[in-house]
Chains A and B, each alone.
Chain A
Amino acid sequence: AQSVAQPEDQVNVAEGNPLTVKCTYSVSGNPYLFWYVQYPNRGLQFLLKYITGDNLVKGSYGFEAEFNKSQTSFHLKKPSALVSDSALYFCAVRPRDNYGQNFVFGPGTRLSVLP
C-alpha cells in the first residue's frame, strides 16, 4: 500500500534557526513529490514540487526540499525560520504512472517557530 510518513507531529524551532520537516514515502516507481502548508482556517497552499532533475528544489517563501531516492525521503527545509512560518505542513506524493492523479498525503507536521 502507498503511504507517506511524517515522523514528527510537532517541530519547534527558534526564529532565525534553520528548520527541517521530514517526509518519507512508500510508493512504487518514482512518484511526484509535493509540500503544502496550511494556515489556521485556510486551505492548503502549494509550496513546492519535485518532478525530475535536480534533487534540491526551491519553492515559495524561501522553502526548499531535498529529494533522496535511496532513502525515499523528501525533507522540507528553510535556512532561517520566521515566526510567520508557524503552520501545519503536509507532504504529498502522486504516483508517476497513476492515471487517476491521486495524491497520498502524510498526516501533517505542526511547525512552531518561537520568537
Chain B
Amino acid sequence: DADVTQTPRNRITKTGKRIMLECSQTKGHDRMYWYRQDPGLGLRLIYYSFDVKDINKGEISDGYSVSRQAQAKFSLSLESAIPNQTALYFCATSASSSYEQYFGPGTRLTVT
C-alpha cells in the first residue's frame, strides 16, 4: 500500500548492531503498529501506538523499542540485534473510527 511506506526494504546486519526501521504514512490515521512475520506463525504484534503520547507493548516486545516521532511516523529499533530477530517486519495503521488495518510493504531483516 503506497500510503504506508517502510524503509529500508531490505537490511542485512550483524549480531550486536543497533538498527532502526522506519514507517511513514499519509493516510492520516492516528494508530500505528509494528508486526513481525515468521513462516508458519503469521503476524505477531511487537508494539502499537494510539497517538504520539501513547505507546504500548505487544505480544513480543522484548529486544525491541519504538518511537512515535509524529502522527505519521513510527520507528522500530533493535538495540542489539540477534539472529532470531531475522524476520519480515511490517508496519500497519488504522483509524480509531474504523476496524481494519493497512499494511506497509515490509522490511526484510537478516541478522548474521
A115: min CB distance to chain B, Å: 26
Does the CB pair A43–B4 fall under 8 Å? yes
Q: How far is the CA of A90 from the CA of B100 in the complex (A)?
A: 13
Which residues from A are CB-within-8-Å of B56?
100
Does B74 sit within 8 A of A, measured CB to CB? no
On chain A, the number of residues with a Cβ less than 8 Å from chain B's Cβ atoms is 24
Q: How far is the CA of A103 from the CA of B31 in the complex (A)?
A: 13
Q: How far is the CA of A82 from the CA of B40 in the complex (A)?
A: 24
Does the CB pair B41–A107 fall under 8 Å? yes
Q: How far is the CA of A46 from the CA of B1 in the complex (A)?
A: 10
Per-residue contact bits, chain B 38-51, to A (CB 8 Å; 1 contact, 0 not): 00111111001000
Selected from B44, B94, B104, the residue in CB contact (under 8 A) with A43 is B104
Which residues from B are CB-within-8-Å of A34?
99-100
Residues in A18-44 with C-beta less than 8 Å from chain B: 32, 34, 36, 41-44
Does the CB pair A105–B42 fall under 8 Å? yes
Q: How far is the CA of A45 from the CA of B105 in the complex (A)?
A: 10
Does the CB pair A46–B58 fall under 8 Å? no
Q: How far is the CA of A114 from the CA of B59 in the complex (A)?
A: 37
Q: Indicate the member of B31, B43, B94, B101 with the most A CB atoms within 10 Å.
A: B43
Which residues from B are CB-within-8-Å of A43?
1, 4, 90, 103-106
Residues in A24-75 with C-beta less than 8 Å from chain B: 32, 34, 36, 41-46, 49, 51
Contacts A/B (CB < 8 Å), 6 sampled: A44-B43, A46-B101, A51-B99, A103-B101, A105-B43, A108-B40
Residues of B participating in the A interface, judged by any CB pair closer than 8 Å = 1, 4, 31, 40-45, 48, 56, 58, 90, 92, 94, 99-106
- Please provide the 3 A-B residue pairs with the shortest distance between their CB atoms, ordered closest to farther: A43-B103, A105-B42, A44-B103
